[in-house]
A and B are shown apart, each in its own frame.
Chain A
């Protein structure tokens, strides 16, 4: 296989808050190949957005990328090395801020943010915003940039793009704004587009249209995507490969079919079970039990053990290794002690949110009322 377009290795990003250090992204690794759509899924707060901003080096105070490597082709976007004093410091190969700005952002990697309603500047014309980014990232004149902008608006399905060019964002619906943002990303002709839950704010029909659009455009331009979402349905529809994220870590990674039909990690199973089906009533829905713990003090051992239906005593002690479990190509990686030789089988079951904690909670409550 050829070299991946983007390689992320052991990336770590932390927020230094007054309450403590938030380990929002805690050592994730994945790669994106040319022309591939790679999914990044997980519940709210898993660290998906922080991961994408870290790749672009757009993490804002009090956050900071503190470790790991991000390589885009031959460029080192994030890199650290050990100094003579044993301190971790930026590697000299790492691109400077100015290089990131002029060589990478927009030109090579473009991003579509989570919220289409807030991503466009309300006081500038939609077309002009598009044109500005094209001018910055491609060697074209102002007039040419305008033409590209209009063409791209047409391509993403904005009717009468010549007229709409001069409209302001508030004159566009949510779906139309999302199309504009997609047009923006494509018009700069990057090789990689990071789409951070681009359809979450939209209703289902519009979401469907946008997904179709992206699939068509991806086939046409061969752009790679990192597609961030919390919706397994969207993953099934659009992704080639998927990374499942939980509390700052990637816990499973596989081709999309493998992930759905040969699921390894209990969290992925729970995510899949939680997809609502049309034949279910509200009571029959299967949300994942419990809530994701804070990233300030993540649980020891396996981070999912507080909610895992399969959790055993050993899960609380051993931090599972992230490893390929099939030996096939492409690999199917998973991080769960069930696939390690650390005595899972002989360990006692744990009471968790998914197994017995709720019952236990009731007993405790009764005990208190007796006093």
Chain B
């Protein structure tokens, strides 16, 4: 019960955060040099034409009026019309967001699935060869730029040994008829996974490395705790101590870092999408910025903000789920 109440509270708290994101996005976009009108009409439009366009998009209004109008539109999930694509921004986002989310989910899954066991083993075999190897891997991971990893993977696995494709990412939910060589949905999913391997490693390596380090250090810390000693003193086996008594506590710092790494991963997604020619949110925002498509810039930035806020909420809820001290009152 108290966990539900905590979740509801946390969701309510995120409303002002999203409002803040909208406001900042709006102000920043307004401050960007360059005039969208000149982009729409070419270098030397007539004054009349310019005025008409300004009136049409409400650009002749003072800042606060434009802000309020934009806010109302956003609440109605209307982000306006993309100047560059000539379609509603919402449509463009709906098309691109699932691609980026897929990339994020798969790289975080990859990172967690590898980092947690690595970190635990590292901690367990502290200062033994296994630990050193995993620490070197982690150090390599955090200190190597993801675009470089991406390029190396492409050269090695896509061109030299042709094991994994470097382009033409397929969505697992695509219709079989739209995918080469696939006749069933299962084949589509398999093709998608095959295509996802390199982008996932590219985007996930940094996360994996960061998570491994956290997992190792927090596991080490927990293993030194009095309650672990107590479990040992009552005859609990080392395996069970690792799996049960220490494991759950050790995940708390990791959960926090997963949430924080999301910002980093959103940035990484932009690079990864560029390297692998994936049409996701990252490339969309770059196109929008390059073409001064201000409504699209605002819409995509806002979406990134929302993804981050949702990520943080999920993080907090998982934390509260694992640690009863967060969601339970001390008062009763």
Contact = CB atoms under 8 A, between A and B. Distances in A.
Q: Do A and B come from one complex?
A: yes
A111 interface: yes
Contact of B323 (A102, A110, A123): A123
Nearest to A97: B238
A136 to B, nearest CB: 5
Contacts of A56: 233
Given A123-B324, A171-B330, A102 B235 contact: yes
Contacts of A111: 230, 233
A133 B234 contact: yes
Contacts of B234: 105-106, 110, 133, 136-137, 184, 188
Contacts of B248: 123-124
Contacts of A188: 234
Contacts of B35: none
Interface in A298-334: none
Q: Is the interface of B mostly helix, strand, loop or mixed?
A: helix
B160 interface: no
Contacts of A118: 225-227
Nearest to B233: A111
B226 A110 contact: no
B232 interface: yes
A120 interface: yes
A70 to B, nearest CB: 15
Interface string A107-133: 100110101001111111000000011
A136 B236 contact: yes
A104 B234 CA distance: 9
A56 B323 CA distance: 31
Interface string A218-237: 00000000000000000000
Interface in A180-206: 181, 184, 188
Given A56-B233, A111-B233, A171 B332 contact: yes
Interface string B212-240: 00000000000011110111111111000
A115 B230 CA distance: 11
B177 to A, nearest CB: 50
Query: Interface residue tally of chain B, by bracket?
Result: 20 to 34
Contacts of A184: 234
Contacts of A60: 224, 229
Given A113-B230, A170-B330, A122 B249 contact: yes
Contacts of B231: 121
B233 A110 contact: yes
B325 interface: yes
B235 A113 contact: no
Interface in A13-66: 56, 58, 60
A58 B249 CA distance: 22
Given A102-B235, A106-B235, A136-B235, A113 B226 contact: yes
B220 to A, nearest CB: 12
Nearest to B223: A60
B245 interface: yes
B57 interface: no
A124 B228 CA distance: 12
A111 B231 CA distance: 10
A168 interface: yes
B148 interface: no
Nearest to A101: B235
Contacts of A124: 248
Interface in A152-197: 168, 170-171, 181, 184, 188
15 contacts: A58-B229, A58-B233, A60-B229, A104-B235, A106-B234, A107-B235, A113-B229, A118-B226, A121-B231, A124-B248, A137-B235, A168-B324, A168-B328, A181-B230, A184-B234
Task: Name the 7 nearest CB pairs between A and B, nearest first.
Answer: A118-B226, A106-B234, A105-B235, A106-B235, A121-B227, A168-B324, A133-B234
Given A58-B233, A105-B232, A168-B325, 12 more contacts: A56-B233, A101-B237, A105-B234, A106-B233, A106-B234, A113-B233, A118-B227, A121-B249, A123-B248, A136-B234, A168-B324, A188-B234
